[in-house]
Amino acid sequence: MKKSDILVVGVGGQGVILASNIISETALSAQYDVKKADTLGMAQRGGSVISHVRIGHQIHSPLIKKGEVDILISFEKLEAARWGYYLQPGGVTIVNNHAIPPSSVNTGNEQYPNDQEITSILKQRTDRIGFINGTRHARELGNIRTLNIFMLGSASIFMPLETQAWEDTISQHLSPNIRQINIAAFRKGREEMRNAHLG
């Protein structure tokens, strides 16, 4: 692998940071150089959260260049559209098919984009777009908070890291009472993405 630049985006509280930590730790366990940078701003809750993960043999900048992202993992639809311009042409995009309207939409001052608008924004960069029902699956698994690990499972098929390494990292980073359900979410995410045939 030359390098893999991964952008994980979502809304505060969705577990973006834990997800990007697990990607980084898994890559480290496979002897890669890793750098990771989170952009949180003032957001405690409810703001945009963006995490850059860079994997390769020697990484300098902790931030990914615009237009060079290999894999965009978005936990929310609007955020996928917002950060789509970071994708390289033909990059992989995995979008949780779920909307969290920001306050300006709730108060009627701004419009939430419809699915066609979101897709057309992403299509400017790539055709490899996978919408998956992460929130629905996480709920069906019995814990909405497994969304982040489900999304990781989906993205993992595009990364050169062994399934066992992923599951080991997940086990190390989560407390015993939620380990099994998250491993299940990871496997479910992988399966769903395989079925999506993104190429």
Partner 1 sequence: MTKLLSGNEALALGAYHAGVKVATAYPGTPSTEILESLARHDDIYAEWSTNEKVAMEVAMGAACAGIRSLVSLKQVGLNVASDPFMAASTMAVNAGIVIACADDPGIHSSQNEQDNRHYAKLAKVPMLEPSDSQEAYEFMSYAFDISEKFGTPTLMLTTTRISHSKSVVKAYRKQAPPARQANFHYDIEKYVMLPIYARLRHSLVEERLTKLATYAETFPLNQVSWGERHLGIITSGVAYQYAREVFPQASFLKLGMTYPLPQNLLLNFAAQVDRILIIEELDPFLQENIRAMGIKAVGKEFIPRTGELNVDIIEKASRSIGLLPEISPQPLKGIPAKLPKRPPLLCPGCPHTGIFFTLSTLGKRSISAKSRAKTTKESPLVITGDIGCYTLGAYPPHNAMDTCACMGASIGNALGMEKTGIAKKLIAVIGDSTFMHSGITGLVNAVYSEGQITIVILDNRTTAMTGHQDHPGTGISAQGKKTRAIDLEQLVRGIGVSNVRVVDAFDMKQLRDAVRNAVDSTELSVVIVRGACVVLMPKRSEPMAIDVEKCNLCGICLQLGCPAIQKEKKQVYIDSALCAGATCTICQQICPRQAIDLKSRVESMKSL
Binding site for partner 1 (CB under 8 A): 11-12, 21, 24-25, 28, 33-48, 59-63, 65-67, 78-79, 81-83, 85, 101-108, 110-113, 121, 124, 144
What's the chain's length in residues?
A: 199
For residue 196, the minimal CB distance to partner 1 (Å) is 25
Minimum gap (Å) between residue 82 Cβ and partner 1: 5
Q: Are 79 and 102 in contact (CB under 8 A)?
A: no
Residue 192 Cβ vs partner 1, minimum distance, rounded to whole Å: 22
For partner 1, the closer CB: 17 or 157? 17
Burial class (CB in 10 A: 0-12, 13-18, 19+), 194: exposed
Which residue number, 151 or 193, has a Cβ lying nearer to partner 1?
151
Q: Terminal CA-to-CA distance of the chain, rounded, Å?
A: 18
Q: Which amino acid would we find at residue 157?
A: I
Q: How far apart are CA 96 and CA 135, in angstroms?
A: 7
Q: In angstroms, rounded to a whole number, what is the distance separating the alpha carbons of residues 187 and 192?
A: 9
Q: Which residue's CB is nearer to partner 1, number 42 or number 199?
A: 42
Residue with tokens 């577990």: 15
> Which residue, 56 or 179, is less far from partner 1 as judged by CB?
56
How many CB atoms lie under 10 A from the CB of residue 8? 32
Q: How far is the CB of 194 from partner 1 (least distance, A)?
A: 29
Q: From the CB of 163, what's the least distance to partner 1, in Å? A: 21
Cα distance between residue 168 and residue 12, in whole Å: 26
Angle between the 176-196 and 163-173 helix axes, to the nearest 10 degrees?
150
Instruction: Give the residue with the Cβ less far from partner 1, 44 or 164.
Output: 44
Q: Among residues 111 and 195, whose Cβ is nearest to partner 1?
A: 111
Minimum CB–partner distance for residue 154 and partner 1 (Å):
22
